[in-house]
Structure 1
Amino acid sequence: MNALSDMDRERAVELVQQAYADGRLDPAELEQRLERALTATSSHELEPVVADLPDEAVVLSTTGGRVTRTGDWQVPRRLVIDSEYGRVRLDLSRAHVPHARIGIELRLGYGSATIILPAGASADIDGLRTGWGRVTCTAAGRPRPGELHVQVTGEMPYGRLTVRTARG
């Protein structure tokens, strides 16, 4: 039996709520799925709650190049960056972010990543595993009502991550 993390449960709740907002679920099904998601004790119990719901994850992969997103770009609800040797720069300060909460999963072998948030945004980096490297986050850590909150997860054995808000 695989124990659930709070992040797994939150992700399931977000998918169910988004499906309801998109008109895919009626109020009764919303209530039923939320109850099942919130009371699940294993991934086996949680899986059927979201199995038929779309997860708008966008995966960007490179072996040794750069991944850069700046300016006016559409930020998905979940973004996965997979890079063996490279640099990542995600500037959300002028991007279109239609979600109040987003997830960024970093799978970086060697390299560095910089995530720039809009003013007022917050970030939780507790789900990121690191080895030899440094993680710096100067953005607020707790979600603020009405502001973007970014959940950073993943693994960076040999790398550096900087998360900050945009400069004036």
Structure 2
Amino acid sequence: MTSLPEDSPPLIGEDDRDTAVQRLQEAYGEGLIAHEELDERLQQVLTAKAHGELVSALVSLPETHPGTASTIAAGGGRIRRRGAWRVPRVLKVESAFGRVRLDLSRAIIEHPVVDIELQLGTGRARITVPRDAVVEVEGVHTGWKDLRYKTPQRSHPGGPTIRISGTLGFGRLKIRHSRR
């Protein structure tokens, strides 16, 4: 077995590399870096051999905020959020059975882009988004019933982008814009 010289830099683990790639993708999704810059930085991260090379690829990005991801999970019963609740940057919702109701119409949304990741077995889900929100649903996979969402006829610019993704087994997902 060959040993490394004592003065060689520590090697990077796959977890460190994966975290760096995820952070770059988040920065791109939030509009902090351009597509070309994302490609350059990803190349740097994927070919990095030492920790310092990873750090230099992430150096100009703002620090990630703790608490920007949250998971709501229930085996059965209801999951309900409404009123003035703080919406994290990434919200994961997991439910085996039961209803899910997320009302973001009066919620505190501090991020320009919010990702809602659904993992639902059976039961219905209803998400109410702010009137001025842009909703993206390309990442939703339904098993039994189709997704119900109509893009509003009038656009109200300036709202957050709500990206909804995930899998629904035997339930239906209904998304609507609030009227106020």
- Report how many aligned residue pairs link the two structures: 143
Pick the aligned partner of 1:101 from 87, 107, 113. Answer: 113
Tell me if 1:75 matches 2:87.
yes
Q: How many Å apart are 1:103 and its aligned residue? A: 0.4
Is the CA contact (8 Å cut-off) linking 1:58 and 1:79 kept in structure 2? yes
Q: How many Å apart are 1:75 and its aligned residue? A: 0.6
Question: Which amino acid in structure 1 is aligned with residue 148 of structure 2?
Answer: T
Question: Which amino acid in structure 1 is aligned with residue 105 of structure 2?
Answer: S
1:114 aligns with: 126
Q: How many Å apart are 1:119 and its aligned residue? A: 1.1
2:12 aligns with: none
Structure 2 unaligned segments of length 5 or more: list them. 1-21, 48-53
Structure with the greater alpha carbon radius of gyration: 2
Q: How many Å apart are 1:139 and its aligned residue? A: 3.6
Cα distance in 1, alignment partners of residues 101 and 130 from structure 2 = 14
* Richer in strand (by share): 1
Q: What is the TM-score with the length of structure 2 in the denominator?
A: 0.66
Question: Which amino acid in structure 1 is aligned with residue 39 of structure 2?
Answer: L
Tell me if 1:126 matches 2:141.
no
1:147 aligns with: 159
1:45 aligns with: 46
Deviations 1:83-137 (A, max 9, x none): 0001111101111111111000000011111110111212111101111112011
Question: Which amino acid in structure 2 is aligned with residue 80 of structure 1?
Answer: K
Question: Which amino acid in structure 1 is aligned with residue 112 of structure 2?
Answer: A
Tell me if 1:90 matches 2:102.
yes
Q: Helix, strand or coil: the match of 2:96?
A: strand
Cα distance in 2, alignment partners of residues 66 and 101 from structure 1 = 26
Structure 1 unaligned segments of length 5 or more: list them. 1-7, 18-29
Q: Helix, strand or coil: the match of 1:13?
A: helix
Is the CA contact (8 Å cut-off) linking 1:139 and 1:163 kept in structure 2? no
Flag the 1:40–1:112 CA change in 2: closer, same or farther, 3 A: farther
Cα distance in 1, alignment partners of residues 100 and 109 from structure 2 = 18
Q: How many Å apart are 1:167 and its aligned residue? A: 2.5
Percentage of matched positions with identical amino acids: 33
Pick the aligned partner of 1:63 from 67, 75, 86. Answer: 75
